[in-house]
Each structure stands twice: as structure tokens, then as C-alpha cells.
Structure 1
Amino acid sequence: MFRTALRNVLAHKARLLMTVLAVLLGVAFVSGTLTFTDTLGEAFKKSSAQSFDHVSVAVRPHSAREEDRPKLDDALLEKFGKLPGAESVTGTLSGFTALAGKDGRPVGDGWSAQGTNHFPGPDGEDPRHRFTDGRAPQGPDEVAIDSRTAERTGYRTGDTLRLSADGSVRTPKITGVFDTDDGNVAAGGTLTVFDNATARKLFDGDEYEEITLQAAAGTSERELRQQVAQVLPEGLKADTGRQLADEQAEMITEQTSAISNTLLYFAAIALFVGVFIIANTFTMLVAQRTKELALLRAVGASRRQVTRSVLLEAFLIGLIASVLGFAAGIGIAVGMRAAIGATGAELPDGPLVISPTTPLVALAIGVLVTMAAAWLPGRKAAKVPPVAAMNSVHAAPTARGLVVRNSLGGVITAIGAAMLFLGVSGGTTALLAAGAAAVLIGVIVLTPLLSRPVVAASAVVVDRFGVAGRLARLNAVRNPRRTASTASALMIGLTLVTGLTVVAVSVQTAVDKMAVGLMRADYVVTSVIGPGLHPEVREKLDALPEVAATSPMRQGNADLDGSYQKVTGVDPAAVGKVLDLDFAGGSLAGLAGGGALVDQETADAAGLATGDTLTLKFYDDDKTEKLEVTGVYNGNQMIDGIFVDTAVIDRHQDKPRDYQLMVAMRDGPSPAAEKSLIAASDHNPAVRVQDKAAISEEISSVVSLLLNMLYGLLAMAVLIAVLGVVNTLAMSVFERKHEIGMLRAIGMDRARVKRMIRLESVVISLFGAVLGIGLGIFLGWAAGTSVRDTLEAYTMTVPWDRIALFLALAGLVGVVAALWPARRAARLNALEAIKAE
């Protein structure tokens, strides 16, 4: 039986290739997703990682409140430096530093653009910065940059660059390029180094953020920590480098767990789809060999031997496909990373990571799943009496089996729908997730039942193609289980794609509406990050003749009846020209006279109405302000809180800063107007000028990044669906040799045979697409109810243009999948095909 199984594998090379291909795709889907997950997870971990190779002990604040702890100043640094076990002591200081490339655009984004101090030790070197070219900066007009940034921007030692660290624009000279273990740089960020004195001025550094000590030879980390503890002031803590590394690893794991879990969910989906395709292929494969297996029974093989023979074939096929699938999966992971990067989405840099468990999972899926998929059909074929099997090669499934399946599917779907509606009404995420999974499984089980009415509905279009069209439609429902299995892989992918798209577009529309819905301003000027805009920025913009009005958004924080409140200072004379507030009561009129505008939610919570007096206690100086409520407006999650005159905020802040400026132009937005605003801000790389379209695009980019990642993961499901249809049609053509030969003999030409196979493929693909899109919209609606609890403006938005595109792509899938099977069917020799049975 072993030799028989081996000969069977090698004797039918075309059948072997198609089966290996199906298993290979399933394995590649899973191993590719796992490799991509590990690679992306490691990249995100590196973005937060920091090397502690040169840190024996680190001293950091123990209390969160600055007034409750001593400062990490030069006096403390000197005290630590005198410890007998300390070889060197370093004071660390850092802050946001916007760096402009040679094209004038900012390099890096947000917190990924950092600056730090160079703190040389006794040997004149700072172990954090290993210079590969030039030297360390030594004055306010000198900086050094990391080697990755130098490579990315083209800057070299001796060049002059443009940067901003304290709000003003500086143009220092690059004195050196260095390598660093900073994880932020490894993840695509920038690191600019200043000399210690300059860094302290730029980052308001009257103290250090951290003091690190390196142990002298013969002194352990623990011994040095004990020495530090003896002179350590209360309010500070000392940790060894090992403790810091463990603490960091735990923090990074916690930070990246959500990303890893999300990606692993898609690996589970990959496994599910892969198993589906493999099981479907082997079911058809064993069905084709019913007569062959019956012949083995007739010559003396037992049922157990026949089943073992099938399992042995499955093992060999699974083993070959596992190795090839694992290699293909690595290629898929690389391609996914490149494809997502090509869309403009920013992901952390990092090498390809292949976990030791990935090849083991690939082998387990390829071998175990293939054998499991082959066991049931093999056992079923072995139980058929030899005479009956040889007389009826392709026995149709019994009606009883379909009735049981349909009944089970109906029950699962009903239970899932009930859980969904309970989750929607009760806002329970766990019920929503469980209900969605149950509905999806139930519909998969019901797919054979649904195939008949859905395919029958295609008669309006398909029958217009004449006999080829009618035969294609009838062939599609001849074996409902096969049609269902083939369409289900595509259905699963489109269900997820459609559901995610509906939720993402709805979220994007809601946030976009909140962000720009109340804006009259043409532009919003903001600081990329950091302390905010200096008031002089507004003065420069007001001096432009094309600017009609500006109003700052100057933020403070205060206490109102025991609750935290965001207080925003605006210009009473200009705010009405840049914001379109929807008033429920009162107006802007009293704002200049010491009044306050309160959003409706805050007013209801505090029991305030127009004309009432509110008392705000500011956190900055613990002083209070009594203000009259001159207006109550309907806010949203982007524009809310209490609005007051900037003069009120300024009384409670030492250094007033505007977190944004709202700017209205005389002639509206235009490229020339935007350039004039940028020029007026000295081309500061830390200042960003955006119109409404740019704000909407920025919001969209966040959603697009998520969707691109998910589309990249789910694209493999569609690819598998395409090749699954190819496999099914090719095997179907093999089964129907006799029938196709008869059709050719009675006059059907090759063009019509091709058309028949292509139309059958399109009908099956569109059947899966219709189910997937419909189910995806339904599940998207259900998932959106949980989003509405946290996003008030959320309303379900169905992107019909994308839905139409998904449907068109499904039709294209059908056409492409049928190319080879249709060509193969058309080239069959009619006389040989008639004799096939």
C-alpha cells in the first residue's frame, strides 16, 4: 500500500501539482502573516527600545510631582561622580527638535524627531554617540546628526541645516555624524545632538532628566547601586541597568501587545481560510478517485488500508507543500511590507524576523491539516461497497446530508444573530465579537442552500449568453457543496474587507466632520509638537495683507466644581470669523467683557445656563476666576470645553503658547496664500500650515494606514480564493471530460466551451462576493454600534464606490481564475473525452 500510495502521487502529476498548490497557498498565507506579524512587532519594539550597555545605574525621579522631589542638577552629578565605584557619570537631557531636509520639509514626525545633549566623560567621549565622521558639537552654532538621518537626507559633515528646538529657527553647522543605539532612530526617527550647554538652554534644562553611572572595573552594578543609595536624596530612585532593561522589555511588550494581537487575529483568519481550501481540494480529489479506491478494495485491500493509503498521500503532499509554502510565505511577508510602504504609510524600519515557531506552524498546517482534510473523504470512500463505487464514480451527496447541514447552519446563524442584537442593545463588545463569528460560520454552513437562489438570480444576465450561459449557471449549482466551498474563501475575505471598510470610512467621516465642521478659518497653523507656538507667530501672520483675521487657541487647565476642564483662550474680536459655533443660548457678544462660552455637555453637568456665574480654579497658580456664562454652544469631541478671552489665560501662565492659530484669508485658501503663511513663519520646520483639505487628509491617513495594513493581510485571502477557483474548475473539467466531449460532439465549438467555463467561474465568484459584501455591511453596522459609544458623531456610511469596486474585482477574479481551466476544456479531444468513462 505504501508503494501504491507513492505511485499514485507520482502518476498524476497535474493532479499532484494542483493539490500541492492548494496546500502551499494555505501554508504560505499563514506563515506569511506570522512572519509579517513578527517583523512588524519587532520594528515597533525597536522604536521604543534603548540600549543599556553603558548604563550600570540610572537615577530618575521617583515622584511625579516636580515640587515633591530634588532636582537632578550639576551638584548631584558631581556628588555621584565622587563615588569610588563610578567610572563615569552622564547627565541626560532631550526634547523635540524639528529638522528640515534639503527640500525644506520636516524629517521625521512628531516625537520621532528628537534632540539631546552630548555629555563627554573623562575620555572626552559620550558612549551614547559613536562618531563615524567628524566630531561632537562644541558651541551653539554646531550640531551632530545620526548616521541614518544623514543617509536619508544627504547631509554631510560641514553642511548647514535648518532646525527648530525652542520655537525659533536655527541654522547650525554639522560637525559630525554618529551611530546610536537609540530605538527611536532604529524605527525611522531623527536624533540631533547639541553640546550640553546649548541643549540646556534649548530644553529649559535647569536639571537633567536622568543621571546614569557606569561602574568602574571590579565594581558590579549592585555594588554601585548600593553606593548611590547612600547619597541618594529622597524623591529619587536608582535602578541597575539590568532592572531598566527588564522594565523596558515589559513596557514594550505591553505597548505592542495590541498590535501583535490584532495581527495574530489575521493569522488565525489565514489558518481558517487555508484549512478551507485544503479540505475542499482533498474532498474533490478523493471523490475523483472513488473508482480507483474501489478497485483496491476489490483486489483485497481492507478499508483501513485504503484510508491509510489516502493519508500517506496526504502526508507526502503536505510535507512537500509545507516547505515550499514556508518559503513562499517569507516572500509574501516581504511583499506585504513593500506594498504597504508604497502606499505612503509610515511604518517603523526593521529587519525581517522569522520566529522559530513559524516553520513549525507551517509544517503542522501543511502536514496535519492536509491529513485531517483527507481523512474524512478517504474514510467515506473506503466505506462505499466496491461494486457500487465502480458503477457510480460521482455519486451526488444525499438529500439527508444537505438537510442536516442546512438545519445546523440555520441554528448557528440564528444564535449568532441573537448574540449580535444583544451586543448592539447592551453595548457588549464580547457578545458582538462572538455573534459576528457565529453568523460568519453559520452562513458558511448555509452556503450550499443559498447558492441555488443567488445563482438562479444570475439567469437574467447569464442566460443572455445562450446555451453556454445556461449550462454555466446549471453547472454552478449542480454540486452545491463544491460551489459553496469554492465561493466561501472569497466570501470570508470580502466579508472582512467590506466590514472593516464600512467602519473605517464611517469613523473617518465622523472625525472629519468634527474637525472641520465648525471651522470658518481657511488655515490652521500649529506646532508639530512641543510647547506650542510663540505669540510672535500670530503677530507676523497678522502683518500679512492677505490675512483677514486670526485667533489663537491658547489652552489652560482649570477646576470647575471639582472636575477637570479644558479652558481655551481666543480673541473675542476674531473668533467669530474663524469658528462657526452652534449656540443653544447666548452669543459671542459678552466674551470680551470677561464672559465665558461653555459647551452644552459641560453646562448640563455643572448645572449652568446663560447668565450664570462660574468659578474656575487654574492649576498653574491655584488662582480663581469668576466669569459670566455669556453663551452655551453645541460642541463635539474636537471642539469643546470653555472658551474665554486670551487675557484670562495669560494671567495664569508664565510663558503663553498657542497650540494652534486659526487663520481666515481675504480671498480664501490658495497655494500662494499658503506659501505666504509659511514664509511669514520663517520656514520653521516645527510649524505646520494646513487648510481644511490637509486636515481631512491627515485624519484620513491614520485610517488609511490601518486599512492598508488590513488590506495587505487580507489580499492573500483573495489570492487564495482566485487559485481556489482555478483548482476547483480544473478538477471539475477533469471530472466532466465525458460531458464536455459530448457537447463538442453535438456541435459546441471551442469558443462556447471556453465561455461556459468562464461564466461558471464568474457566477461562483460573484456568488461569494454578494454573500461577502452583504454580510460585511451587516457586520460593519453591528461593529459600528460599539464605536458610537465613544464617537458621538459616528453614523454608518456605506462607501458604495468601494463596494462596487469590490464587486467588479470579484467578477475579474472569476475571469482570471477561468483562463487556464477554460483553455484546458476547449482543447479536449472530443472522441477521447467521450471514451474517458
Structure 2
Amino acid sequence: MFRTALRNVLAHKARLLMTVLAVMLGVAFVSGTLVFTSTLSEAFRNSSQKSLEHVDVAVEPPQSDAGPGSPEDTPQIDRKLLDKVNRVPGVAATTGLVSGYTGVADKHGKLLGAGLSTRGSNYFPGKDGKDARYPMRDGAAPKGPDQIALDSRTADKAGYRVGDTVRISVDGPVREPKLAGIFTTDDDRAAAGGTLTLFDTETAQKLFRMPGGYNVVQVTAAAGTSQTALQHAIERALPPGSATVETGKHLADQQADMIEESMSGMKTGLMVFAGISLFVGIFLIANTFTMLVAQRTRELALLRAVGAARRQVTRSVLIEAFLVGAIAGATGLVAGIGVGAGLRALISSTTGKLPDGPLVVEPTTVLTALAVGVVVTVLAAWLPGRRAAKIPPVAAMNSVHLPATTKSLVVRNSIGAVFAGLGIAGVLAATGMDDGRSTMGAGAVLLLIGVFILTPLLSRPLIALAAPVLRAFGTAGTLARQNALRNPRRTATTASALMVGLTLITGLTVIATSVQKGVDKLATESLKADYVISMDSRQPLSPRLEKAVGAVDGVVASSPLRKVMAESGNEPEMLNGVDGREFGALTQLPFTEGALGELRGNRAVVDGDTAKIKHWKAGSRVPVTFPDGKKATLTVSGVYEGNDMFRGLILDNATLAPHQKHLADDQILVKMADGATDGNKETLAKALGDNPAILVADKKDVSEGISQSVTMMLNMLYGLLAMAVIVAVLGVVNTLAMSVFERSQEIGMLRAIGLDRRGVKRMVRLESLVISLFGGVLGVGLGVFFGWAAGELIGAQMKSYELVLPWGRLGLFLGLAALVGVLAALWPARRAARLNMLTAIKAD
């Protein structure tokens, strides 16, 4: 039976080529993802470990209770604590680190490293007057507030040389120090395209609001002192609770775990799409083996007649599948290694240079690729093999193919209806839940399975709708419709492959378009302000900028927005500080209770969700503990409908400021006398020093900024899902090619009675078009349903969310399905038209 299976594989090389290609694409995606993420993880891990080579122990301040990004007093290691560490026996050297955001502009005023790490730190010289972490390539270390040093990659990219003036920004205002030195570094963030700026320690402490303090102290052990021994010695020397002490090995392991965790999200996402491609490929494989088995019914019957058991027949088909899967797995692995290398090169060229390192192909990657190729192919071929074994020898030798019985159709349709019903019920139930993502996901899977099972039943009425159009093409159109309906199961399986891809594409498009509409609505309905000013990095702004904005001619109202973590009833509470007199002129928040009025004193307004959770209403008195530990009671004067821009308690900055050690603004809202114009935008930018790190955004910019990540993600998903569509195209080509082979005698008869070659081509093309559009209609319909359902969950979190059906794109997707049908039919139609009619008529 093994020799028989091998002979069959070799005898049908051309027919199995597309099956191998479909499986290979999926395997290539899987192995490419594993190679890429392994390579990236290893490169970052090596880079991180290299940066910690000389760190035996790290002393860090205790965790802060302030919220993320809070400008409030940040825990730090002071100079006294550093000196205590220095005096611990076994300490060879200490390095105090201070770091924070630092934007660097190129010579044209454009921000370098935008979207990546734009960081500043301190040059901490040792006893030899040098900082071993940052060897100077050119020039000298920075000294004083008017000097900086830049990493070599940034300096070379921007064309800076020692002595040049460089425009930088830390908290808003532009600074123009001189470039004292250019250094080399193994810092992985700088290697990945970010920027690293060095100041002297005193300047860095002042800029990053750590006077006399450090973010962390790195310790090098003396010869003969182990990391663990030094850690324990430092812990004993420091006051309890004053700092946390970790070994360099622990930090390296921690960083490795963080890198692995950050890579896991990307790996999971890519694996999902690889799985989708393989899932779509299963339809193609099952179709291929079903038709191959059907074309060899007489051969299989002879095997049965000479003594082969059913199990042996099934096994021969599975052996064929195993061989095909092994070939696909091996070629997919090789292609995947190329995909992994290509992804690394692509990301390096688009987002910055990644850390250097070899291409990593782990043994698990090889085993996974081969296992996926074999398992997917064998599983897809199992059902056709089982059906082949059930064919009665006499019926097969007489070429009498037993059609599906009424009982089997009833059972199939009943099972499909149950799955579809449960899926619809699950999806609808999830729309009414607070967190129904898991329920909706399970319902969506059940519904897809149900529709797939019911697809043969759905094919007749849906394809029948195309009858009037097909009649316009005469005999070719009528034959195309009949051919599409002749084997509903095969038509359904072929169409289902395309359906899955279009379901996902359509659903994601509906969600993204609706989110965009919600964001636009948020920007236009919640804001009266013409501009929102913020840092490109979302870092806090200096209060001096708000004063500069207020002095601009044409500004009729402006308000800084501040976020501070406080406590209310022993629970954390976010306070939003605004200019109470101007805030009403800059926003238009809908109120369900009370009103905004003029915020002053201890008056505050709160969003409806928070009010519901805390049982607050207009007139409620809310006890608050400010960051400085002082307490007050706020009076709720109104309850508004929260959104992505405004949420939580809003009060006057005059009430909040006395309790803040460091004043800093998240954003500044600005309203101009003559509205948003290019001239006003330029005027504001000049008032802010033409700072590349500061964004002056109008409502359109705000909307695009919020939705940019959604658009980027959607474009990436389109690219990934394109692979599923390619596999679906291969499925249609395979089905049509085998259908032409199967109907050779029939096509010969049609040619003999007068159907010319053009008519044969038209018949095959129209059949392909009908099958593809059938899958397209199902995919778009399911995608719209899933998009609506997912939108119900999003709408619960995003109040401005509004369902939008992008009719233009939906039409484009149906057009894509039609194009798939046309392209997929080119080779099969050409093959059908070139059949010799006499040879075809004599075909057995």
C-alpha cells in the first residue's frame, strides 16, 4: 500500500502542486514567525545582557504610588544613600543614573527617533574621569547646562559634528546647547533607531526633576566578591525600606523575561494569521483529496476486489497526505527562514536598525514546521480517505458514484443548523454582557462552523439568484450555473475558503470605520477648542508653555489639562485639573445631572460611569486626599457623559496646584478668535519656539492621531489576511482544474455539438465567477454581522462609537471576490478549451 500511495503521488504531481503550495504558505508563515521572533528576542536579550555586563548589583528606589507618567515627586536614590553604598565592603565602583525624555531635532527642525525611544541620561565619570558605558568617539564629555553629547548613530543620521548647536526639548521649551561630544553605545534602544542624549549629572538631575538624586545606582563588585554576597552586604548597610537591591543576573533574567513577554504578543498575533491561512488551506486539501479519490474510484475498487481492506484503502490515502505534508513542511520551513530574515530587514529599514545578531532557527521551529505541514494535511485528507474506503467495489468498477442519501443530507443540515443557531445565540448574548469577548469569540467560531456545514444547502438558492444574469451569456452561462450546482459539497468547500478570509477582512473594516467615525464625533462634539497642544512623546508640558500660549494675539480662551492621582475613600482616584473659568468655552460635555457652570473652589464634575460606580450624584460631597497628604471635600456640581478625552473628576487648577510639588500639564486647549486656520497654527508653533517635540493639533489632527493606531493595525491585518485570500485563490484554481479533468468527456461532447473554444472558456470562467461571488456574499454578510456585534461591545466603552457600513469598501470586497474568480479560471479555462474533442469523447 505504501508503494501504491507513492506511485499515486508521483502520478499526480501537477494536481498536488497547488495543495503543496497552499500548505507551504501556511507553514512558511508559522516558521517565519518563529524564526523572526526568536531572532529578535535573542538579539535584544544579547544587547540587554551586554549593557549589564559591568553591573553586579542595582540599587533602585521603592515603588511610587503616583500614577504612570505623573509629574509628582518621583522616588529616587539620594546622594547620601549612594555614598553609603560606596562605603560597603566589596564595592569597587558605583554609577548613579538619571534619565528621562529628551527630544532631538535634526538640522531641518524635524524630530529624530519619532515613535521610538527619545531618551536623555547623565554622563557619570569614574575615578579616571571617564564613563565606561559611553566611550567618546569625537570630542569630550558634556559639562554645564549648555553642553550635550549625542550617540553616534543619531549624530551621523542628522549630520551633526562636534561644536554644532543642537535643538532639544525635555519638557516643552526649546533648548539649544552645543554638541561637546559624540559617543558609541551598546544601548539597544539607540541601536533600534532611538536617540540618546547625555548631560552632565547636575544638569540631568535638574532637567529630569531629580535634584541631587538618581533613578538607579549600578554597582560593580570588587574582585572575589560574588553578586549575591554583595547584594546581602548592601541590604544590611541601607535603612529598611529605603531601596530595593537586585543582582545583575536577576536584572538580566528579568529583562529577558520582559523581552520574551513583549515578543509573545507579536508572536501570538502572527500565529493567529498563520492559523487562518492553514485553516483556509484545509478546505483546499480536503477538496483536492476528495476529487483525487473520486477520479480513482475504479482503481480503489480493484484494490478492494483483490483483497485490500477498508482500513488499507484509507491508509493509502493518508500515506499520500503524509508525503504531501512532509514535502510542504520542509519547503515551508526553508521559505519561512527567508520570511523571518525578510521581516527583520523590513523592520530595520522602516522603523530603525535592530540590534545585530545571527538568524536564529531553533530545533522547535524545525519540528513545528514539519509537524504542522504533516498534521494539517493528514487531518484534511482523513475524511476523503474514509469515504473512499466505503465505496462498494462493484459500484466503483461500474463508475456508479453513489450520491449523498437524503438521510445524510438531513443529518448534515441539522448539525449545521444547531451550530449556526448556537453561534448566533452566543454572539447576540455577548452583546449584552459587560465583558462578552470570550462568549462572542466562541459564538463566532460556532457560527462559522455552522455556515460551513450549511454551505451546500445555501449554494442552491444563492447561486439561483445569478440565473437571470447568467442567461444573458447564453448556453455557456446556463452550463456554468448547472456545473456550479452539480456538486454542491465541492462548490461549498471551495467557496468557504474565500468566505473565511472575506469574513475577517469585512468585519475588521466595519469595526475600524465605525471607530474612526466615533473618534471624529468625539473630536467635533466634545471640543469647542480649535487646537490641542501636547508633547509628541505624551510627556508632561512645562507650565511656561501655557503662559506663552495665553499671550498670543487672537487667543480668546485656553486651559491646561493636568492629571494627578489622589485618593477617595481609600481608593485611587484620577483628578483632572483645568482652568475653571475657561473650560466651559473650550468643551461641550453633555450633562445628565447638574451643569458645568464655572469650576472654582471645591466644586467638581464627574463622568457618569465613575458616578455610577461610586454612587455619586449632583450635590454629593466627595472626600479626597491630595498627593501631598492633605485632605479636602469636593462637591459634585454635575455629572457628564465621559469619553476618551475626558473622564473622572474635573476641578479647578487653582484648587489642585497648591497640593502639587511639580506643576506640569498633559495638554493645553486653545480657542482662537477666527477659528482654526493655517496662519493661527503657524503663529502658535512660533510662540512655542518651533519646537519639533510639540504637537499643535486641530480637530482633524486629534481625530487622525487617535485613529492612527487603528488604521495602521488595519493595514497590517489586510496584508496578513492577503495570504488567506491567496490560498483561497489556489483552492478555486485547483477545484476548476480537477473539475475540467473530471468533465473531459462532457466538454468533448459539447465541442462536438457546436460549442466553440471561446464558449468553453466562458463557461469555465462564469462557473469560477459564480463560486467566488457565492463565497464573497457569504463572507461579506458574516463580516458585517460580526462587525456589528463587536461594535456593541466597543460602544459600551466608547460612548461616541457609531456603526458605519462602508458601502464602497464592501462593494470593493465583492469586486475582489469576482476578480479572484476571473484570475483563478485563466489556466483551467485555457486547458478546457485546448482539449481535443475526439480524445476527450473517448476518455474513460
Common topology (TM > 0.5)? yes
Amino acid at match of 1:172: P
Contact conserved, 2:34 with 2:267, CA < 8 A, in 1? no
CA deviation string 1:187-212 (max 9, x = no partner) = 44322122222212211222111111
- The yes-or-no answer on 1:432 pairing with 2:440 is yes
Kindly report which structure 2 residues correspond to 1:160-175, keeping only aligned pairs within 5 A, or say none: 160-175=165-180
User: Which sections of structure 1, spanning at least 5 residues, go unmatched?
Assistant: none
**C-alpha distance in 2, partners of 1:308/1:555?**
68
- Do the aligned partners of residues 179 and 258 (structure 1) sit closer, same or farther apart at CA in structure 2, a change above 3 Å counting? same
- The yes-or-no answer on 1:639 pairing with 2:646 is yes
**C-alpha distance in 1, partners of 2:409/2:118?**
62
Contact conserved, 2:348 with 2:354, CA < 8 A, in 1? no
User: Which sections of structure 2, spanning at least 5 residues, go unmatched?
Assistant: 67-71
**Which range moves more in the overlay, 307-316 or 281-290?**
307-316
**C-alpha distance in 2, partners of 1:487/1:70?**
61
**C-alpha distance in 1, partners of 2:271/2:23?**
20
**Which range moves more in the overlay, 398-407 or 725-734?**
398-407
- The yes-or-no answer on 1:671 pairing with 2:678 is yes
Q: CA deviation at 1:768?
A: 1.1
Give the corresponding residue for 2:699. 692
- Do the aligned partners of residues 471 and 654 (structure 1) sit closer, same or farther apart at CA in structure 2, a change above 3 Å counting? same
Kindly report which structure 2 residues correspond to 1:703-742, keeping only aligned pairs within 5 A, or say none: 703-742=710-749
- Do the aligned partners of residues 694 and 243 (structure 1) sit closer, same or farther apart at CA in structure 2, a change above 3 Å counting? same
- Do the aligned partners of residues 432 and 586 (structure 1) sit closer, same or farther apart at CA in structure 2, a change above 3 Å counting? closer
Q: CA deviation at 1:764?
A: 0.9
Report SS of the residue matched to 2:628. coil
Give the corresponding residue for 1:574. 582
Amino acid at match of 1:486: T
Amino acid at match of 2:457: L
Give the corresponding residue for 1:281. 288
- The yes-or-no answer on 1:90 pairing with 2:95 is yes
- Do the aligned partners of residues 764 and 753 (structure 1) sit closer, same or farther apart at CA in structure 2, a change above 3 Å counting? same
- Do the aligned partners of residues 102 and 284 (structure 1) sit closer, same or farther apart at CA in structure 2, a change above 3 Å counting? farther
Q: CA deviation at 1:781?
A: 2.8
Kindly report which structure 2 residues correspond to 1:432-471, keeping only aligned pairs within 5 A, or say none: 432-471=440-479
- The yes-or-no answer on 1:193 pairing with 2:198 is yes
Give the corresponding residue for 1:216. 222
Report SS of the residue matched to 2:213. coil
Contact conserved, 1:49 with 1:182, CA < 8 A, in 2? no
- The yes-or-no answer on 1:793 pairing with 2:800 is yes
Give the corresponding residue for 1:61. 61
Report SS of the residue matched to 1:106. coil
- Do the aligned partners of residues 250 and 41 (structure 1) sit closer, same or farther apart at CA in structure 2, a change above 3 Å counting? closer
- The yes-or-no answer on 1:230 pairing with 2:213 is no
Give the corresponding residue for 1:519. 527
- The yes-or-no answer on 1:204 pairing with 2:209 is yes
Kindly report which structure 2 residues correspond to 1:14-33, keeping only aligned pairs within 5 A, or say none: 14-33=14-33
Contact conserved, 1:102 with 1:153, CA < 8 A, in 2? yes
Q: CA deviation at 1:690?
A: 0.6
Q: Pairwise CA RMSD of aligned residues?
A: 3.5
- The yes-or-no answer on 1:316 pairing with 2:330 is no
- Do the aligned partners of residues 365 and 625 (structure 1) sit closer, same or farther apart at CA in structure 2, a change above 3 Å counting? closer
Amino acid at match of 1:414: G
Give the corresponding residue for 2:85. 80
Kindly report which structure 2 residues correspond to 1:325-724, keeping only aligned pairs within 5 A, or say none: 325-332=332-339, 354-392=361-399, 396-427=403-434, 428-529=436-537, 532-559=540-567, 564-584=572-592, 590-591=598-599, 596-599=604-607, 612=619, 614=621, 617=624, 619-623=626-630, 633-724=640-731
Q: CA deviation at 1:391?
A: 2.2
Count of residues paired in the alignment: 835
CA deviation string 1:724-744 (max 9, x = no partner) = 111111111111111111112
Contact conserved, 2:23 with 2:278, CA < 8 A, in 1? no
**C-alpha distance in 1, partners of 2:203/2:386?**
79
Report SS of the residue matched to 1:321. helix
**C-alpha distance in 2, partners of 1:585/1:400?**
63
**C-alpha distance in 2, partners of 1:604/1:6?**
70
Amino acid at match of 1:552: P
**C-alpha distance in 2, partners of 1:173/1:356?**
51
**C-alpha distance in 1, partners of 2:16/2:333?**
18
Q: CA deviation at 1:802?
A: 2.3
CA deviation string 1:410-445 (max 9, x = no partner) = 222222233333333444433222222111111111
Q: CA deviation at 1:53?
A: 1.5
CA deviation string 1:616-642 (max 9, x = no partner) = 645133445667766554443422444
CA deviation string 1:796-823 (max 9, x = no partner) = 3333332222211111111111111111
**C-alpha distance in 1, partners of 2:641/2:395?**
77
Report SS of the residue matched to 2:223. coil
Amino acid at match of 2:507: G
**C-alpha distance in 2, partners of 1:726/1:369?**
20
**C-alpha distance in 1, partners of 2:325/2:747?**
32
Q: CA deviation at 1:329?
A: 3.4
**C-alpha distance in 1, partners of 2:73/2:603?**
36
**C-alpha distance in 1, partners of 2:344/2:776?**
27
CA deviation string 1:264-292 (max 9, x = no partner) = 43343333223332222122122222223
TM-score between the two structures when normalised by the length of structure 1? 0.90
Q: CA deviation at 1:176?
A: 3.8
Give the corresponding residue for 2:52. 52
Contact conserved, 1:5 with 1:312, CA < 8 A, in 2? yes
**Which range moves more in the overlay, 232-241 or 559-568?**
559-568
TM-score between the two structures when normalised by the length of structure 2? 0.89
Percent sequence identity is 55
Amino acid at match of 1:246: D
Give the corresponding residue for 2:145. 140
Q: CA deviation at 1:49?
A: 8.4
CA deviation string 1:629-665 (max 9, x = no partner) = 6655444342244444443333333443332221222
**C-alpha distance in 1, partners of 2:771/2:788?**
26
Contact conserved, 1:10 with 1:16, CA < 8 A, in 2? no
**C-alpha distance in 1, partners of 2:694/2:128?**
39
Contact conserved, 1:618 with 1:652, CA < 8 A, in 2? no
CA deviation string 1:212-269 (max 9, x = no partner) = 1111222221222233233222222221111222333344445555554444433433
- The yes-or-no answer on 1:813 pairing with 2:813 is no
**C-alpha distance in 2, partners of 1:46/1:794?**
44
Amino acid at match of 1:479: N
Report SS of the residue matched to 1:129. coil
Contact conserved, 1:531 with 1:657, CA < 8 A, in 2? no
**C-alpha distance in 2, partners of 1:582/1:426?**
25
Q: CA deviation at 1:562?
A: 5.9
Give the corresponding residue for 2:272. 265
**Which range moves more in the overlay, 699-708 or 579-588?**
579-588
- Do the aligned partners of residues 7 and 140 (structure 1) sit closer, same or farther apart at CA in structure 2, a change above 3 Å counting? same
- The yes-or-no answer on 1:106 pairing with 2:114 is no
Q: CA deviation at 1:170?
A: 1.6
Q: CA deviation at 1:548?
A: 3.6
CA deviation string 1:697-733 (max 9, x = no partner) = 1111111233233323322111100111111111111
CA deviation string 1:269-321 (max 9, x = no partner) = 33322333222212212222222333455566665554444344333322222
Contact conserved, 1:96 with 1:530, CA < 8 A, in 2? no
**C-alpha distance in 2, partners of 1:394/1:70?**
80
- Do the aligned partners of residues 280 and 124 (structure 1) sit closer, same or farther apart at CA in structure 2, a change above 3 Å counting? farther
CA deviation string 1:727-770 (max 9, x = no partner) = 11111111111111111222222222212111111111111111
**C-alpha distance in 1, partners of 2:375/2:631?**
71
**C-alpha distance in 2, partners of 1:159/1:385?**
88
